[in-house]
Structure 1
Amino acid sequence: MEKSFHRFSELFAQLGLRMDAAGIGEFLEAHSPLPADVLLADAPFWTPAQATLLREELLEDADWAEVIDRLNAALRAPKGRS
């Protein structure tokens, strides 16, 4: 089976968020930095459906796990460094 590479924009589309560069940047700016003691899927800014999607994709789909890990890292970066 061939692995797929998913982009941030595809993850944002799956989450029902703006998937253009400006929308992604605004989201990261608004929600960073995410405290170290908060799991990505437990962040207060997700809807229940978004949190469920993140949890399920991390557990079930390695193709999505990589880009979700990148989102996690970007949200934990100090503002201006994502």
Structure 2
Amino acid sequence: MQPTVADRIGHIATAIDSIRDITAGQTRESFANNLVMRLAVERLLEMISEASRHIPTDLEAKEPGINWRRLADLGNWYLSSDRR
């Protein structure tokens, strides 16, 4: 069974919370020097990107401050470039 829109929104919220937890107390330098942390955050961003692709247009319109197209494209950007 395919995830519902509510499931997808939950996935986004959980991934955001996880990124906040993982990066709490980190400096830019400590984050940059921690490969495992960077890979975890990258994967969570990919999950957010994928889930965002399944949010209906009418719900996207309720959050005009979010650039939904850019968010959806983020996963492709990570996959198409050598970010490591």
Q: TM-score, normalised by structure 2?
A: 0.32
Q: Which has the higher helix share?
A: 2
Identify which of structures 1 and 2 has the higher relative contact order when contacts are C-alpha pairs closer than 8 Å and 6+ apart: 1
Q: Which has the larger radius of gyration?
A: 2
